[in-house]
Structure 1
C-alpha cells in the first residue's frame, strides 16, 4: 500500500512540473508585449496616411450656404447710383477634380505606399529583436538553472569535507585549521549558490514580464537548446544582405524619399483642375448661378519653399542610401566577429570538457590521499575548485555560443 501511494505521489509530482518551451515563451511575448502592439498601430497609421494622399485623386465636393441679415445693394436709376439695404442668402455646391498635376499626387501616393511597407518591416524587425531578447533570457535561465545544480553539489561536497575534517580533528588526525578552512569554503559556496539563484530569478522575472504571465518556480526548461550546434554556410552573409529587416528599411526609405523628391519637383509645374459649381441666390432678385470649366494654376514665386522642399527630399534620399551602406558594413563586421567567436567557443567547450575530466580524476585521487594524510586541505580545495570552474566554464561557453547563434538568426531576420 505504501508503495502504491509513493508511486502515485511521484506521478502527481511529475505531472505538476510544467515545461516552459522556448517557442511558448516567444509566442506569448509577441502576443502581449506593448511595443509589438504600438508598432502594429503604426501600420494602421501609415495606412491612414496612404488614404489621405490617395484622396488627391478623388473629386472634392463642397456645399456652402450664407445668410446676410443686412447687405447693401447698388443699382443705377436714371443715371444715378442708388443703394438699398436688405437681407440676402445663398446656397450651393461646388466640385473640383484634379486633371493633371505632373505626377505630384501619384508620386506622393506611391511614397505613402512605401511608407506602409516600412512600417510593416519595422514591426517585423521589432519582433525579431524581441525573439532575440526572449532567447537570451531563456538561455540565461537554462544556464543559471544548471549552475544552481552545480553549486548545490559543490555546497554538499564542501559540507561533507567539513564534517569529515571535524571527525579527523576529533580523532587527532587533522588540525583545527583544516576544519576552519573547509567551513570557510562552505560559506563561500553558500554565497555563490545565492548569487546563482538571484541571477536565475532576475531572468525569470524579466521573461515573465515579457510574457505577461507568471512563471512557476519549479518550471522545467528545454536545456538541450543550450548545446545545439551551428554550421555556417557560404550563403550566411548573402542571407543577411537579402533578409535583414534594417537593410530593407533603409532601402525602402531611400525609395520613399526619392518619390517625395519627385513629388516636390512636380509642385513647380502647378496643376490642371476641372471645376463646376451651382449656387442659388435670393437677394433683391432670385436667380441660379452655374459655373463649369478648367483652370491652370502655376506657382510663379513661393519664397523658395518649393525648391527647399525638393532639395530636402533629395538630401534625405542620399542620407538613407549612405545609411544603408554603413549598416551593411556594420553587419558584415558583426557577422565576422560572431563566426570567429563561435569557432572560439567550440574550442573552449572541448577544452573545458577535457579539463573537467582531468580535474575530476585529480579530485578523486586527492580525496583518497587526504583521508590517508598524504594531501593537504589546500590541495583538496584546489582540486574541487578546478572541477567547479570547469563545469561553470563549460556552461558559460555553451551560453555565449548560443547567444552568438541567436544573434546571427536575428541578423537574418528570423522570427
Structure 2
C-alpha cells in the first residue's frame, strides 16, 4: 500500500512539473530595470513635473523681455459728423481809417475757418525703456530660475519615490513567490500524511481525530497560500498601475545581492548634504525667499524710464502732420511706500519660515541616514543568520535524500525537509531583499539615485 502511494505521489509531482514547464517557457522575463524604466516613462506625475519645468522656463523668458524697450504701435481712423470752426467777426482786428469819411473794418466781414476734416487718421509708435526697475527685473529673473531648480528637484524626488515603489513591489512579488513555494511543499507533505492516515484508518491503526487534525492543518496551509496569492495579485495590480505592465504574464528576474560593508557614517552624511533632494529644495526655498525680500526692498524705488516715439496725423490742422518726440517718464505711487512696509514684513517672516524648514530638513536627513545605515547593519546580520539556517537545512536535506536512496526513510521525511529548505530559502531571500531595499534607501538619501 505504501509503495503504491509513493509511486502515485512521484507521478503526480512529475505531472505537475511537466505541466508547468511549457507555461513557464512561454513567459518572458521581466527585469527590475525594465520595470523601473516603464514606470518612469508612463508615470503621469513625472510628465506633469516635466511640463511644470518647461512652464517655468517659459515664464523666465517672458520676464526677461521686460528688460528691453517696450514698443507700442497705435493707429486710429475716425469720422466726425461735426467739425469745429474758427469764426472771426467783422472788425475783430480793429478798424483801418483811410480818410475822414472812410473806415475799413478788419476783417471787413465775418470769416469762418474749419479747424479739421470729417475724416481723421492718426498713427504712431512709442518706445519705453525702464531704468530704475532694471534691478527689480533682474531679481525677478533670479526668482524664476530658482523656481526652475526647485521644480527639477521635485521631479527628481518624485522619480526616486517611484523607483523605490517599483522596487518594493517587485521584491514583494519575489518574496511572495518563495513563500508560495514553501507552502506548496507543505501542502504536498500534508496530502501525503493525510493519505497515510486514511490508509491507517482503513486498517484500524489510527483514529479520526488524527485525520481531522491533519485536515485542519491542510486547510490552514491552503488558507495561507490563498492569502499569498491574493497579496501577489495586489502587488501585481499596483505594479501594473505604475508601469503599465501586467507582471503576472512575466517571470520576474531574481536579483543577485551581495551584502557589502557600508561606508563610514561621516561619508554618508557629507554625501547627503550635497545630493539629497529634500535638503536641496529647502535650501533653494531659502534662497528664493531672500530674493523675494530683496525685490520688496527694490519696490521703494520710483519708476523712471526713457520714452521716445513718432506720431503721424491727418485731419487736424492745429497739430503737425509729423511729430517725433523724446523724454523722461517718472512715476511714484506714494501709497505703495506704506503698503510695501507690510510686504517687507511678510517676506521677512517667510524667510524665517524657510530657514526653520531647512534646519528641520537637515535634522531629518541626518536621522534618516543614521537609520538607514543601522537598517543595513541589521539586515546584513539577518542575512548571515538566514544563510546559516539554509546551509544546515540543505545539509539535512542531503542526509534525507541519502537515506531515501538507501531505503532508510519515507517520502514524507524528504518532503518535510524540502518544506523547511523552502522556508529557509524564502527567509534568506527576504533578508537579502530587505538588505537591498535598505541599501537603496540609503543611496537615495545620499546620492540621489537608486541601485541597479
Q: Shorter-chain TM-score: what band?
A: 0.7 to 0.9
Highest Rg: 1 or 2?
2
User: Could you tell me how far apart the structure 2 residues matched to 1:215 and 1:224 are?
Assistant: 16
TM (norm. structure 2) is 0.76
Q: In the alignment, which residue of structure 1 is the partner of 2:166?
A: 134
User: Could you tell me how far apart the structure 2 residues matched to 1:183 and 1:12 are?
Assistant: 32
**Superposition deviation, residue 69 in structure 1:** 3.5
Matched, 1:65 2:75: yes
Q: In the alignment, which residue of structure 1 is the partner of 2:371?
A: 337
Which residues of 2 match residues 163-178 of structure 1 at below 5 A?
163-178=195-210
> 2:77, 2:120 within 8 Å by CA — same for their partners in 1?
yes
In structure 2, the CA distance between the partners of 1:76 and 1:135, relative to structure 1 (3 Å rule), is farther
User: Could you tell me how far apart the structure 1 residues matched to 2:41 and 2:292 are?
Assistant: 35
User: Could you tell me how far apart the structure 2 residues matched to 1:395 and 1:156 are?
Assistant: 22
- Where structure 1 has 5 or more consecutive residues not aligned to the other structure, the ranges are 1-8, 369-381
User: Could you tell me how far apart the structure 1 residues matched to 2:119 and 2:442 are?
Assistant: 78
**Superposition deviation, residue 45 in structure 1:** 0.7
> 1:135, 1:406 within 8 Å by CA — same for their partners in 2?
no
Matched, 1:221 2:221: no
Q: In the alignment, which residue of structure 2 is the partner of 1:5?
A: none
Moved more, 256-265 or 85-94: 85-94
Which residues of 2 match residues 31-42 of structure 1 at below 5 A?
31-42=41-52
Moved more, 160-169 or 40-49: 160-169
Q: In the alignment, which residue of structure 1 is the partner of 2:449?
A: 414
Q: In the alignment, which residue of structure 2 is the partner of 1:30?
A: 40
> 1:26, 1:131 within 8 Å by CA — same for their partners in 2?
yes
Instruction: Please give the per-residue CA displacement for 1:258-304, whole angstroms capped at 9, x wherever unaligned.
Output: 12221221121123311112112223316222221223333433263
User: Could you tell me how far apart the structure 1 residues matched to 2:157 and 2:211 are?
Assistant: 58
RMSD of Structure 2 on Structure 1 (CA): 3.5
In structure 2, the CA distance between the partners of 1:334 and 1:74, relative to structure 1 (3 Å rule), is farther
Matched, 1:244 2:276: yes
User: Could you tell me how far apart the structure 1 residues matched to 2:190 and 2:167 are?
Assistant: 34
In structure 2, the CA distance between the partners of 1:359 and 1:15, relative to structure 1 (3 Å rule), is closer
| Aligned counterpart in structure 2 of residue 313 of structure 1, from 310, 335, 347 | 347
> 1:166, 1:179 within 8 Å by CA — same for their partners in 2?
yes
User: Could you tell me how far apart the structure 2 residues matched to 1:38 and 1:61 are?
Assistant: 35
Q: In the alignment, which residue of structure 2 is the partner of 1:55?
A: 65
Matched, 1:400 2:412: no
User: Could you tell me how far apart the structure 1 residues matched to 2:428 and 2:28 are?
Assistant: 27
Q: In the alignment, which residue of structure 1 is the partner of 2:220?
A: 188
Moved more, 341-350 or 19-28: 341-350
User: Could you tell me how far apart the structure 1 residues matched to 2:49 and 2:146 are?
Assistant: 16
User: Could you tell me how far apart the structure 1 residues matched to 2:290 and 2:200 are?
Assistant: 84
**Superposition deviation, residue 142 in structure 1:** 0.9
Moved more, 197-206 or 13-22: 13-22
User: Could you tell me how far apart the structure 2 residues matched to 1:284 and 1:350 are?
Assistant: 99
Q: In the alignment, which residue of structure 1 is the partner of 2:109?
A: none
Q: In the alignment, which residue of structure 2 is the partner of 1:323?
A: 357
- Where structure 2 has 5 or more consecutive residues not aligned to the other structure, the ranges are 1-18, 94-111, 404-415
Which residues of 2 match residues 318-397 of structure 1 at below 5 A?
318-354=352-388, 393-397=427-431
User: Could you tell me how far apart the structure 1 residues matched to 2:187 and 2:218 are?
Assistant: 6
How many residues matched? 392
Which residues of 2 match residues 76-155 of structure 1 at below 5 A?
77=88, 86=118, 88-101=120-133, 103-155=135-187
Moved more, 22-31 or 249-258: 249-258
Give 3-state SS (helix, strand or coil) of 1:49's partner: helix
Give 3-state SS (helix, strand or coil) of 2:345's partner: helix
User: Could you tell me how far apart the structure 1 residues matched to 2:212 and 2:178 are?
Assistant: 29
User: Could you tell me how far apart the structure 1 residues matched to 2:51 and 2:41 are?
Assistant: 14
In structure 2, the CA distance between the partners of 1:102 and 1:309, relative to structure 1 (3 Å rule), is farther
Instruction: Please give the per-residue CA displacement for 1:142-181, whole angstroms capped at 9, x wherever unaligned.
Output: 1111111111111111111111222223233322211111
Give 3-state SS (helix, strand or coil) of 1:224's partner: coil
User: Could you tell me how far apart the structure 2 residues matched to 1:76 and 1:54 are?
Assistant: 55
TM (norm. structure 1) is 0.83
User: Could you tell me how far apart the structure 1 residues matched to 2:299 and 2:114 are?
Assistant: 46
In structure 2, the CA distance between the partners of 1:339 and 1:182, relative to structure 1 (3 Å rule), is same
